[in-house]
Amino acid sequence: KDRRIENSPHVVLLDLKLPKVDGLEVLRRMKEDPRTRMIPVVVLTSSREDRDITESYQLGVNSYIVKPVNFEQFTEAVRQIKLYWLLMNEPPPTLREPK
């Protein structure tokens, strides 16, 4: 737990239906860990269950997207926000690259 995380991601795309671990447990652990709690998380999953959506937001997810998604629409939306995200979003100090 005391190990430093090298090259942490700028965003995590997380499926709730993973083969060996529950995606909500992954999200819970990320948000409990000071090293990963500020990383934005987008849930991209097939679950439309209200309890999964509610719990995801209670645990701190930034966005919840239900699959299947139109990939072209999804990539276009990402393309439109990418410039804003890269240029305007200020990451927390713990995630900034050293100067």
Mean pLDDT of 48-77: 89
User: Using an 8 Å Cβ cutoff, are 41 and 32 in contact?
Assistant: no
Greater confidence (98 vs 22) lies with: 22
Other beta carbons within 10 angstroms of residue 61's beta carbon come to 22
Contact residues for 84 (Cβ-Cβ < 8 A; gap 6+): none
Mean pLDDT of 65-92: 73
Residue 43 bridge partners (DSSP): 14, 64
Average pLDDT over the chain reads 82
CATH superfamily for 12-69 is Response regulator (3.40.50.2300)
Kindly list the domain boundaries of the chain, sorted by start residue: 12-69
Confidence tier at 9 by pLDDT (50, 70, 90)? confident
The alpha carbon dihedral of 91, 56, 8, 2 has a sign of: positive
Given this model, what pLDDT does residue 75 score?
A: 79
